[in-house]
Structure 1
Amino acid sequence: MPNPRRMSRRAWVLTWAVLCVAGLTATAWLQAAASPQEARPERHIRAECREHIAEIEGQLGRARWNGEEKVGIVTVLPIGVDCADERADLLRGDR
């Protein structure tokens, strides 16, 4: 008389395959639901421009806190440092 609890190897492999596919599908669905749809990767800022960009962000933050709509920003860069791309991205709102 055969043992009814015993499963063949094919049944075990099929069971594991179904469980793996279900787990991968659930993981993909949860990651898609948890991540924002419009997420953009943050642009890399060169080391010599970080302090300059932080200063601009601080000035913009203070101006918004005070309710100013039009803001003039004055910053001074060290000689030989070109942060035009990073500054343009910040002011355009790409970050």
Structure 2
Amino acid sequence: MPNPRRMSRRAWVLTWAGLCVAGLTATAWLQAAASPPEARPERRIKAECREYIAEIEGRIHVAKSNSEGEGAIVAFSRDRTDCAEELDDLLRGDR
């Protein structure tokens, strides 16, 4: 009479595979059920910062158009420290 507690390797592999599939299915279901990340609220940008950012964007556009596919360098000074967050957002590409 075979020992009922002893499982063959095939049974262990099938059990392990079944648990992996169940775990992956549960993970996919939980990720689908989770709410999507909230979009950042739109910040109000001061008028003087908006003008300064438009000037910088213009410089970047001119530098890109003059570089003809090569890298371009745009230099500007941060003389307006009250626009630092807006400039960081612009340069990181958050806008």
TM-score by length of 1: 0.46
Which structure shows the bigger proportion of residues in helix conformation?
A: 2
